[in-house]
Amino acid sequence: MSAPVLDDQQRRKRRLIIALTATGLVIAIFAGIGIYGLITGPTAPAPSETTPPGSSATSPPRSEEPAEAKLPRLARTNDPEVYVRSVAEALFTWDTFTLLTPSDHRAVLTEDADPSGTETPGLIADLDGYFPSASTWRDLAEYRTRQSIDIDRIFIPAQWDEAVTASSGQITEGTYAYTVEGTRIREGVWYDDPVNSAHAVAFTVFISCKPVFDRCHLLRLSELDNPLR
């Protein structure tokens, strides 16, 4: 009996599964040098995340009606750097004083997840380390807190090059890891006075583009402030 013939889509999925399995093994090899966040998952947000920027007090400013807003999709592109930049902006650009929720922001990223579904559960867990919880979001909304990111650089880390070499060709061409370094900026209002804070952040974005998929898609995120270097 002859072996079944695989179509192009089945072959691409098989190559992706092999690549992701190899990537997992390589990540395990390098777990001791700073990338264990992909294995252990994100840590709980620090208590300061629940306070307004620049203040530790708890009295809210005057009440106003939140605004309507619409979120842009991630870039539809095969340029990995352009795509990673759009991922970074989607992760860190939000305004609590709108009708949007953390789930709305997370959906922008999960709807562009691994089309095979293999990495989607892991990505959902990764996002817990990047967005406030629903209750924290409501607290921050009382101070009209909004956040953005000022990106300093986006680069392929040396540890990823080492991982690709160690995989002996099992990491499929078109699968990338990019580390993003920048400054997270938060702004809000405290008794009608503007307040703000800035904090350096770094993280690694794992993506697959052509020829794995017809365009770039998001696979996983490192633990925040624990990127590949």
pLDDT tens-digit profile of 6-21? 466 555 555 544 444 4
- 140, part of any domain: yes
Q: Mean pLDDT of all residues in the chain?
A: 81
Q: Element (H or E) spanning 179, and its range?
A: strand 175-190
* Total number of domains constituting the chain: 1
Cα separation, 138 vs 144, in Å, equals 10
- The region of weakest confidence among 19-28, 33-42, 179-188, 191-200 is 33-42
Backbone φ and ψ of 81, nearest 5°: -70, -40
Strand partners of residue 184:
149, 199
The pLDDT, as a whole number, for residue 115 is 94
Asked whether the predicted pLDDT for residue 55 surpasses 70, the reply is no
Is residue 181 a part of any domain in this protein?
yes
Residue 122: exposed, middle, or buried by beta-carbon count in 10 A (0-12, 13-18, 19+)? buried
For residue 217, which of 18, 8, 6, 20 has the smallest C-alpha distance? 20
Whether residue 46 is contained in a domain is answered as yes
Q: For residues 52 and 195, is the Cβ–Cβ distance under 8 A?
A: yes
Q: Exposure of 145 by Cβ count < 10 A (0-12 exposed, 13-18 middle, 19+ buried)?
A: buried
pLDDT reported for residue 168: 85
Task: Give a yes or no: residue 61 inside a domain.
Answer: no
Number of helices followed by number of strands (H, E) in the chain:
7, 5
For residue 187, what are the CA distances in angstroms to 73, 96, 104, 212? 24, 11, 20, 40
Q: What is the token pair recorded at 179?
A: 């580390």
Residue 57: inside a domain, yes or no?
A: no
Q: How far is CA 41 from CA 35, 38, 72, 224, 229, in A?
A: 10, 6, 27, 10, 18
> Which pLDDT score, from 0 to 100, does residue 69 have?
75
**Domain range for residue 201?**
8-52+66-221
Mean pLDDT of all residues in 43-47: 40
pLDDT, tens digit, 9 for 90 and up, residues 129-163:
999 999 999 999 999 999 999 999 999 999 999 99
**Alpha-carbon distance 70 to 48, whole Å?**
28
The verdict on residue 84 lying in a domain is yes
Per-residue pLDDT for 54 more than 80? Answer: no
**pLDDT given at position 40:** 33
Q: What is the pLDDT of residues 163-193, one digit of tens each?
A: 999 988 889 899 999 999 999 999 999 888 9
The crossing angle, in degrees rounded to 10, of helices 158-166 and 8-29 is: 110
Predicted pLDDT at 191? 86
> Is residue 108 a contact partner of residue 76, using CB atoms and an 8 Å limit?
no
Q: CA nearest 225: which of 196, 199, 187? A: 199
Q: What gap in Å lies between CA 223 and CA 38, rounded to an integer?
A: 6
Whether 2 is covered by a domain: the verdict is no
Please check whether residue 229 lies inside any domain of the structure. no
Q: How far is CA 164 from CA 31, 157, 199, in A?
A: 15, 11, 31
Ranking 61-65, 166-170, 184-188, 218-222 by mean pLDDT, the lowest is 61-65
